[in-house]
Every structure is written in structure tokens, then in C-alpha cells.
Structure 1
Amino acid sequence: MRPTLHPRLLNGRTGDPGVFMEALHAPDAVLFDCGDLAALSTGHLLRVGLLCVSHAHMDHWADLDRLLRPLIGREKLLRIVGPPGFAERLHHRLASYTWNLVDRIAPVLRIEATEVHPDRQRRADFCLQTGFAREDRDDAPRGDVVLDLGALRLRAALLDHGTPSLGFAVEEAMHLNVWRTRLEERGLPTGPWLAALKDAVARGLPDTHPIPVFARAGEAAAAQPLGALRDLVGITPGQRIAYLTDFGDTPANRAAAVALARDADMLFIEAPFLAADAAIAADRMHMTTASAGAIAREAGVRRLEPFHLSPRYTGQEATWLAEIESAFGGPLWP
């Protein structure tokens, strides 16, 4: 199965937390935390459509301005999800700039902020053309899915870091794979028309829905009904990528973390402290190598990528990784 979701740590295992994730054939990328975005080009920043902020400690969202700056003057919807009280922090951040001439800018830049509360979701809009004045929307009951992004869904878990901190999971509703052998058997070309075919299958359109078949964009197309092409697409469970950072090793946190990461294809999880320093980790409400590995093992994740190694362990990364691998019970990624 060709993977659709392609995540990567931005600052290695010792830098500020941050994961940039692209989805195959999707125009928008997902960003988990934004403490240091220096590793991303302007082109990558322009692709971010969803920013998931775990909490407002500086190493998790200090570089919001770097993300925002290239969006000014472009037509864009940026969704931001954060913990309770996050919209107010975002409002003050945006209000720290002067926006007196933005009514002259034609392309609309809009930010949709979602706060995840235990029992509800609170939302607010901020538009460049109004100087990012806050526009509150009605609260919505908190559902299992925080945002439905079409082919992708965002889930979140509230964790305790002495302040509310969010863990996140992004998953495909389903994974669609085109059988190349069947294309060849029928003499059908590969090409951009296959994206329309997969979209029609994902949306459950009727068999009579026409699908234009062509090899290259701009080429004359002959339409075939979806029913004649449906068997070209295999459907399997979608990928699931989880991101867990900055939370104490408590029974409640462990239960929430395991539930969110359950059966994830890849889990990014913080593990700042070695197992011998569990008392320090508890005092600072962080994970140890042992607790991070145990969560990943219990959740049944397939691949594990630890990060957020404390600088106190400079030169001890091999020991750190060995402890996590032992607790996980399997090799790390990669």
C-alpha cells in the first residue's frame, strides 16, 4: 500500500517540537506545533492549511509569525486548533501588530480558531481585512472528530501538563489504492483522471456518475460510468498519524494518550527524560523513556518516533533511544 500521509520531524529529536505532514495529492499540509519553523521554506509554509497547537509554551508556538507573514496578500483559509483559552491568546498575538491598511488588500486571509474543551468546541474567526478582529461563533458539542477535512479527520485528546495540552491524531477516512494491473488489463492509462475516480469512490457517488478518462491534462477525454471503473480501486483502512507531547505521566493522561494513539501507523511522542530521572519528569509533568515506550506499546502503534530529548542528556542519545526501544518492545523509526 502506497502511504498517503508523509510526516517528518522539523527540528530533530532535540530541537523544538514540530511535525510537518503532507498528504499525497492534497494541496494543504498539516503542522503540529510551531515553536521553530526555520526548517520550512516559504513554499512549505504556504501549503499549511491546518495548524495544531498542543499548548502555548514558547517552544510550541513562538514561530506563528513566520507562518503568518507569507500569507498576507494571499487568498487563504488557515485553521488553527488549540486548547481552552487559545483563541484569546491568538487574538492578543494578532492584535500586537498594526493593521490600518489591510482593507486595501483584496485577497481574503481568514483564520478559523477552534478550542477543544472537555465538553464542547469553541470557535472564533479572524479576518485580515478587519484587522483580525475576533468574531466568536456559537459553541458546538465536542464530538469524536474535531475537524472533518474531507479525506482526513482530526481527533484530539486533552492532556494535563500543569496547563491543558492537546494530543492530536490525523487519519484518513479510508485508503484508496488503484490496481495498476487492472488498468493494464483494460488498456486504461494512468494519469490525473485517477484522482477523480478515487474521489468519486470515497464520496459514494452512484454507478451512473461519469468519470472522464485521459492520460494528460488538457487531453480529450472519453467518459465511462463509475460502475464500470469502481473495481479498479481497492479500499483499506486509512493511515493514522498521532502526535503526543508535553504531558505528565498520570493514569488519566496515559489512558487518554493510549486511546488517541490506538493502532497508529506512526506515533510521534515526547520522551524528555531517562527512566532514572522519573522524579524530575513527574515534577515537570513530562514523559520518561519508559513511559513513552509503554504508551506506544499499549496503543499498538506500528512505528515510533520519539523527540523532545532534554539537553541535560547531550551525548547520551544512544542510551535514550535504547531505553525507549526496550520499553516499546520493538525497533524505532527508522
Structure 2
Amino acid sequence: MRPSFHPRLLNGRTGDPALYVEALHLPDAVLFDCGDLSALSPRHLLRVGILAVSHAHMDHWADFDRLLRLLIGREKRLSVVGPEGFARRLRHRLQAYTWNLADRIPAELAFEVTEVTPSALWSRTQLSLHSGFEPEALDSLPATPDGSVLSLGPLRLRAAVLDHGTPCLGFALEEEAHLNVWRTHLEARGLPTGPWLAGLKAAIMAERPDDELIPVYARASEARQASTHRLAELRDLVSVTPGQRLAYLTDFADRPANRSAAISLARDADTLFIEAPFVAEDAAIALDRQHLTTQAAGEIARAAGVRRIEPFHFSPRYPGQEERLMAEVARAAGRESLSPP
């Protein structure tokens, strides 16, 4: 399958966490954390459509101002996802600057913040340039069983609350299923190509009943007089393959509840970015600092059945030992190495 996601771990496996994800045929990108964004050009930063921040420790949040400075003067509505209290933190960050000249800037910049928490309702807040970034309450978002938060075109962002001594979010980015029309089947049945195929795909995606009638026409102008076929008769014209999945898990203690939430979020991911700060023999240090070991990271990846593992957030206490940490993750995951299959 042609890769749909093109992720970049901006600062390698040892630098500040920041993951930039581009998706095929999608103009916007998704940014997970922003500890150091210096590797991104202004052009790439301006494409960010969702900013997903795991938590507000400095190494995950310090370089937000680089993004902010580029956005001032541009018409932009940026979706931001963070843990409980994140809208307040963002407001304080924005209020560190003086905005008395904001009325001279015609373009509106707005941040729409969703806070993912264990509660049944997730609060949403808007912070807009022209209102001096004063908070405006938006309608709350009902918590979903699978943690779905936002959509970006065909992409869906899910989140789960993990415990790092402070709430910390894990994320999964999922693509809608791929629907491909078999032209050879169309030709064999004497059916035309045309805009009717979009309706057929939509009906299949929505899992409509077999007796749903689908109009068949080659041009939009023919839609009203089009003949119809039962959906059951047309299903074989379309093949459905799963969309791709990417998970981002960082900064949480190796405890049963955290493992369960992390495994659920990363289940069957094509690529899992997972922190592995400490070697296996330093498990006591890892637990004290509420981080994972290489062994825990590998075991989580194995239990989730992920295809490719990308460990990161290696501790600076192991200079020059990246190969060792990678090897420990691979062994715990039941693999000879972490090269993609």
C-alpha cells in the first residue's frame, strides 16, 4: 500500500519531542508537540492544521512561539488539543505579549482548544487575536468511547489520557478506509464512470442497507432521470481497504492503567512513535520519573500489534548508546531489529 502518512521526528530520537505529519493529497499537516520547531521551515509551519500537545512540560511546549509569530497577520483558525487546563495555559502564554496594535491587523487568528479529560464532556475554548486572546467558551464536545476528538479532511484524531504525574495525552491519527472502483468490473457490466460513483462509495462507507437504491448516471445533468440499482448489486464494483494509522505515545509511567490505554490507542498502528527514555536495567529510575523503559516500550508495541516501531525521547544519560536502546526495544517487541518489514 502506498504510504498516506509522511511523519518527521523533528529532533531525532534524543532531542525535544516534536512530530510533524503530512498526509498524501492533504494541504494541512498535524503537529504533535512543539519542544523545538527549528527544523521546520515557515512554509511547513504555516501548513499546521492541528496542534496536538501531550502536556505542557517545557521540552514538549517550549517552541510554540515560533509558530505563533508566523501566524500573526495571517487568516487562520488552528485546532489545538491538549490535556485538562490547557486553554488556560495557552491564554497565559499569549497574554505574555502586548496586543494593543491587534486592531490594525485585518487577518483574524483564532485558536480553538479542546481539552481531553476523563470527564463526559470535553471543554472547548476559543482564543482570538481581535479579542486580545481573551477566552470565549465554545460548546463542549461529548467524550467519545474511542477518544475521537477532531477530523481533518479524511483524517481522524483520537486521544487518551495517560498519567505522567500530570495528565498527558497519547494520540492516534487514522485515515478513512480506501475505496477503489474496479473499472474492469464497470466495463464488464456495461456501467458508466461518472459522478454516481461518489454516491456509491458514500453508501458503502455509511454501511447503508442492501436494498438502498443507487442512481447510475454518467453526467450530473442525467441524475434525475437515471436508472437505479440496489446497493447489493453494486458492492462488488468497489474494494475497501483499511486506512493507515499512526500513534504517538510519550511521557507516562509503566503502570497497568497506562499500558492498557496506550495499547488500545496504538492497536494495529502502521507506525508507532513511542518514548523509550531508559534502558531496561534502569526500571526503578524510569518509574520514579514516570517514564517508560525500552522493555516497556517494546512490550506495548508488541501487545498492540503495530507494524513499525519508532522509539524516541531517549534520555541524555546514555550518550552514544542509541543502538543499545533500539536493540532493547526490538527484543522486547519480539523482533530482530526495528527496520520496517
TM over 0.5: yes
| One-letter amino acid matched to 2:71 | L
| One-letter amino acid matched to 1:267 | L
TM score, norm. by length of structure 1: 0.86
CA distance 1:200–1:68, shift in 2 (3 Å): farther
Q: Is the 8 A contact 1:55 1:166 kept in 2?
A: yes
How far, CA to CA, are the matches of 1:148 and 1:122 in structure 2? 17
Query: Paired residue for 1:48?
Result: 48
Q: Is the 8 A contact 1:175 1:239 kept in 2?
A: no
Root mean square deviation, CA, Å? 3.2
Measured after TM superposition, the shift of residue 237 of structure 1 is: 1.2
How far, CA to CA, are the matches of 1:285 and 1:302 in structure 2? 26
User: Secondary structure at 1:137's aligned position in 2?
Assistant: strand
User: Secondary structure at 2:160's aligned position in 1?
Assistant: strand
Say which of 302, 307, 331 aligns to 1:326: 331
CA distance 1:208–1:106, shift in 2 (3 Å): farther
User: Secondary structure at 1:92's aligned position in 2?
Assistant: helix
Query: Paired residue for 1:106?
Result: 106
How far, CA to CA, are the matches of 2:304 and 2:8 in structure 1? 21
Query: Paired residue for 2:2?
Result: 2
| One-letter amino acid matched to 2:312 | F
| One-letter amino acid matched to 1:172 | E
CA distance 1:314–1:110, shift in 2 (3 Å): same
| One-letter amino acid matched to 2:308 | R
User: Secondary structure at 2:31's aligned position in 1?
Assistant: strand
User: Secondary structure at 2:296's aligned position in 1?
Assistant: helix
Query: Paired residue for 1:218?
Result: none
Deviations 1:291-316 (A, max 9, x none): 00000000111110000011111111
Query: Paired residue for 1:219?
Result: none
Give 1:133-282 correspondences, 5 Å limit.
Answer: 133-144=134-145, 145-177=148-180, 201-202=201-202, 207-208=214-215, 234-282=239-287
How far, CA to CA, are the matches of 2:182 and 2:282 in structure 1? 51
TM score, norm. by length of structure 2: 0.84
Q: Percent identity?
A: 64
Q: Is the 8 A contact 1:198 1:233 kept in 2?
A: no
Query: Paired residue for 1:97?
Result: 97
Deviations 1:192-238 (A, max 9, x none): x99x977983576985487879xxxxxxxx99x9x999977632111
CA distance 1:180–1:71, shift in 2 (3 Å): farther
Q: Is the 8 A contact 2:26 2:153 kept in 1?
A: no
Measured after TM superposition, the shift of residue 328 of structure 1 is: 0.7
How far, CA to CA, are the matches of 1:184 and 1:71 in structure 2? 50
Measured after TM superposition, the shift of residue 46 of structure 1 is: 0.5
Q: Is the 8 A contact 1:201 1:230 kept in 2?
A: no
Say which of 275, 287, 293 aligns to 1:288: 293
Measured after TM superposition, the shift of residue 7 of structure 1 is: 1.3
Query: Paired residue for 2:73?
Result: 73
1:311 equivalent in alignment to 2:312: no
Q: Is the 8 A contact 2:274 2:310 kept in 1?
A: yes
How far, CA to CA, are the matches of 2:105 and 2:157 in structure 1? 32
Measured after TM superposition, the shift of residue 27 of structure 1 is: 1.3
How far, CA to CA, are the matches of 1:198 and 1:279 in structure 2? 56
Q: Is the 8 A contact 2:49 2:152 kept in 1?
A: no
Measured after TM superposition, the shift of residue 67 of structure 1 is: 1.1
**Unmatched 5+ stretches in structure 1:** 186-192, 214-221
State the structure with more CA Rg.
2
How far, CA to CA, are the matches of 1:180 and 1:308 in structure 2? 47
**Unmatched 5+ stretches in structure 2:** 189-193
Query: Paired residue for 1:124?
Result: 125
User: Secondary structure at 1:312's aligned position in 2?
Assistant: coil
How far, CA to CA, are the matches of 2:95 and 2:254 in structure 1? 36
CA distance 1:199–1:40, shift in 2 (3 Å): farther
Q: Is the 8 A contact 2:122 2:143 kept in 1?
A: yes
| One-letter amino acid matched to 1:82 | G
Measured after TM superposition, the shift of residue 84 of structure 1 is: 0.4
How far, CA to CA, are the matches of 2:143 and 2:129 in structure 1? 28
Q: Is the 8 A contact 2:7 2:22 kept in 1?
A: yes
Query: Paired residue for 1:217?
Result: none
CA distance 1:133–1:329, shift in 2 (3 Å): same
